[in-house]
Amino acid sequence: ADLTLFDPAAIIDRATFEAPTQPAAGIEMVMVNGELALDAGKPTGARPGRALRRAD
């Protein structure tokens, strides 16, 4: 399962036209396939997911 833990009162979009890839602030933890991908707002380096592509 994939889970995202965040505080709705603290989440804020930091992306701008000059820096569109800035991540949102206020996301505390993200788990992908049961592994932590983001912990305490920082990437863990784990890359447990995979891209899904449409088959022709």
Question: Residue 40: left (phi > 0), alpha (psi -120 to 50), or beta?
Answer: left
Q: So what's the pLDDT on residue 56?
A: 63
CA distance 12 to 16: 12
For 4-33, the pLDDT digits (tens) are 999 899 999 999 999 999 988 999 999 999
Bridge partners, residue 42, by sequence: 39
Q: So what's the pLDDT on residue 50?
A: 86
Confirm whether pTM is higher than 0.85: no
